[in-house]
Structure 1
């Protein structure tokens, strides 16, 4: 029986090894229908979307999985507005998912006014790009389309786009200037996260929804300015609020020193002051009733905090990882303290807990 098990196990290993060898020698699936040379001498790959009344193609990647492009364009690239294949002239109207993913030696790109769609992760890891103009013909940009473009400094977004999707410009850590057009209604989660050179950003009147962690790890962001005509949001002293300023939504991570929360505020939203290590003192008014999850997590400059009697709810990990926090005064209005509220506050030596808890 032991011999059988050993033999059986060896056969399984052999089968796995053979399978691995077979898989490794199978060539990557081709992602394109045809290829052609661009005006700048680069080989571009195309998928036929329509060949009927109006022949249309999308620019695509060379392969269907990573690495998506074995032959990567170098330098300045011009995408033409049309391409001829087998005697048919196709309009180039889409840039597909992963089309230029990891083309890290691409330094500039001109997108024609025929393009209406830019796919998911299309330009991710294009680390050589330093500026970008998205033409007004573009009405849709996919998730992470320009993420990890580490040298990208300026972006001009099409005024036909309504959504800045999840992580669209995340990890563009040299990004200094973004113009958000009045067409934008939604800014998705992590849209500008880790854009470490971003100092100020303007939210136009058209924006109706702002996701979570939009400006996470934007260490130099000092000001979020909202158009006064916006019906959903407002700003004061560079801080993002709901329209009537009863909810504090986002305190920029680059703001430093002491801050007094306005008396109009009743809710401090989850993650509102997350990772604001430059915040040294906070005054919470008696108007505040709720402090959200992780609201002050990683505020490593805070040394003490007084929570007013108006507060009836404090979220999970609300003050966790505040490494210099040494004293906390908890009000009698609270009946419970959620799990990990003061987790890893390693300097905390004084905490006053009322009988109500």
Structure 2
């Protein structure tokens, strides 16, 4: 009996692999039971007929193609290395795709891929450390994100002649890879695609490469790279050298005179840009203060050599050192002794302080720092700037802060509160990794994505992801156990963008998790696919008497209706939403915000239910939510 159609969203639940959560296995059984209940009388034509298993691999068979879903049951927890062979066809049907996470973190060793495979999904072979060689299929067109990320034994990749794009971090940290002969068909290499490939010393670009993402070749063993004339734009420096003990002269040759360069001086300052006089790259280099020369000058050694010190003059006082960078000073090597508060100054001798960098060498001198206040002119907190500060409890971001780099507050286990500003755009990988005391996380409405490990092993009561967050990477949020009963006090993750894109396993943890989002949103789909509790948020209602409530005086306290944040006469989920929106996007939803349904003075009093008089926080939203669920008896 043919089995009726199952939606593609259901199929994604059936992915099998070593990292497959229990919820996915449960979904597999549920979906299989549902299929058995359908009959030949179904009005819709069946999309696929059955799931087939051949040797170590499980497949889903459609009418005209099949996809590799993952490992068969007996291989999921196989401890010894084993081989997989994905054929050109299954029962006469071509195998055209490998699903995301299909073989992630498994002990697969030798891999043979059928010629008909056109797409390899995100994280398909992520962390498969036994793989030493890969020959890409003849018809492959797209490599997804992190496909071979952390395959640290991978020494050789044979690229096919139809490959069009290589996804983000596709070969990241493949530390044994020595060369990459890229085909002429390749058009795009996404950011960090070969980042961390420390032995990669030879890269050949094809004739049609048009886009190379920022940091595509970070931390590799190359001191010279040629960017062909087909590339019209570089959004950031594709190379990054990290061994600062011995800095050679490194060069990037750009053959397209009209190539538009992006990024700031810090990305390019270690390099010589080789380009034509008067070209767009030359103009960029001059504006940013970056060394540049023509090809003939470079060939004959007639170019500015790198000076002995990277920063030029370095200054210091009793608490910190600083040096001149683009736009002002960068401070580092901070020493606070017994002081409990560390304040990054707005300026030094009239020069604005625009960045804070690594303080690892002076970390032992900051063991008592409980609070860090970032100066108003600081735009960047560099990697590992406040790595493992043992006593740190609170961070206040300056009003111009735009970027928090990777590992910035890694391992600050007592950090409880971070006050973000409304200009923060980027929070990089593992910025707050293992901050196990961090309980309230309110991302500002200017952040567009959460990177891998951003809030990994935190223990938040609330995380608010504003409308601006469009992408959440794998393992961005992992909630740690912090209570005797892991589900007695769940973490509530509020997703205000109904179309936010979630990578597999982007939200996980050992503590209870609730996801709050809009009906039909991607957050609801993610919650259901991963066995997480989902609560529907309603759109906030507009107040019928906005002008009157805005003009209220101290009498609002006596007229207070606890919990009725939007002043519509009832207490419901729309009151919860308004609090969250006001906290996440103050320009639109706080007092005098641009949105008609913004918080009013009366609503400010009404919504303050958790420790009345302490002001509106995410805990007030949680208190009202629990009241509506019957877990809290009163709002007064």
TM-score with structure 1 setting the length? 0.59
- Kept after mapping to 1: 8 A contact 2:131/2:151: yes
Partner residue in 1 for 2:225:
224
1:314 paired to 2:301? no
- Kept after mapping to 2: 8 A contact 1:200/1:223: no
Rate the CA distance shift 1:321–1:137 in 2: closer, same or farther, 3 A: farther
- Taking the aligned partners of 1:117 and 1:73, their CA distance within structure 2 comes to 28
- Taking the aligned partners of 1:137 and 1:260, their CA distance within structure 2 comes to 35
Q: Cα distance, 1:256 vs. partner?
A: 3.2
- Taking the aligned partners of 1:109 and 1:260, their CA distance within structure 2 comes to 37
Partner residue in 1 for 2:309:
302
The number of equivalent residue pairs is 263
Q: Cα distance, 1:257 vs. partner?
A: 3.1
Q: Cα distance, 1:90 vs. partner?
A: 2.5
Deviations 1:162-191 (A, max 9, x none): 111111111111111111111111110110
Question: Which 5+ residue runs of structure 1 have no aligned equivalent?
Answer: 1-22, 234-241, 293-298, 307-312, 324-334, 348-357
Partner residue in 2 for 1:272:
267
| Aligned partner (choices 63, 66, 71) of residue 57 of structure 1 | 66
Q: Secondary structure at the match of 2:180?
A: strand
Partner residue in 1 for 2:521:
none
Partner residue in 2 for 1:183:
185
Partner residue in 2 for 1:103:
106
- Kept after mapping to 2: 8 A contact 1:69/1:101: no
Partner residue in 2 for 1:29:
27
Partner residue in 2 for 1:152:
154
Partner residue in 1 for 2:140:
138
Rate the CA distance shift 1:58–1:338 in 2: closer, same or farther, 3 A: same
Q: Cα distance, 1:249 vs. partner?
A: 3.5
Deviations 1:230-270 (A, max 9, x none): 3537xxxxxxxx7xxxx9945552783357999x9997843
Q: Secondary structure at the match of 2:214?
A: coil
Rate the CA distance shift 1:336–1:211 in 2: closer, same or farther, 3 A: farther
Q: Secondary structure at the match of 1:190?
A: coil
Rate the CA distance shift 1:341–1:28 in 2: closer, same or farther, 3 A: same
Q: Secondary structure at the match of 1:340?
A: strand
Partner residue in 2 for 1:256:
247
1:193 paired to 2:195? yes
Q: Cα distance, 1:57 vs. partner?
A: 1.0
- Taking the aligned partners of 2:109 and 2:238, their CA distance within structure 1 comes to 34
- Taking the aligned partners of 1:160 and 1:261, their CA distance within structure 2 comes to 27
- Taking the aligned partners of 1:59 and 1:159, their CA distance within structure 2 comes to 22
- Kept after mapping to 1: 8 A contact 2:81/2:130: no
Partner residue in 2 for 1:76:
83
- Taking the aligned partners of 1:345 and 1:26, their CA distance within structure 2 comes to 41
- Taking the aligned partners of 2:100 and 2:284, their CA distance within structure 1 comes to 50
Q: CA RMSD in A?
A: 4.6
1:43 paired to 2:52? no
Rate the CA distance shift 1:249–1:92 in 2: closer, same or farther, 3 A: closer
Q: Secondary structure at the match of 1:30?
A: helix
Rate the CA distance shift 1:316–1:193 in 2: closer, same or farther, 3 A: farther
Q: Cα distance, 1:35 vs. partner?
A: 3.3
- Kept after mapping to 2: 8 A contact 1:204/1:230: no
- Taking the aligned partners of 1:232 and 1:267, their CA distance within structure 2 comes to 9
TM-score with structure 2 setting the length? 0.35
Q: Secondary structure at the match of 1:339?
A: strand
Q: Cα distance, 1:203 vs. partner?
A: 2.7
Partner residue in 1 for 2:211:
209
Structure number with greater CO (CA < 8 Å, separation at least 6) is 1
Question: Which 5+ residue runs of structure 2 have no aligned equivalent?
Answer: 1-20, 33-49, 273-281, 291-305, 314-324, 335-349, 363-636
Rate the CA distance shift 1:258–1:111 in 2: closer, same or farther, 3 A: closer
- Kept after mapping to 2: 8 A contact 1:136/1:159: yes
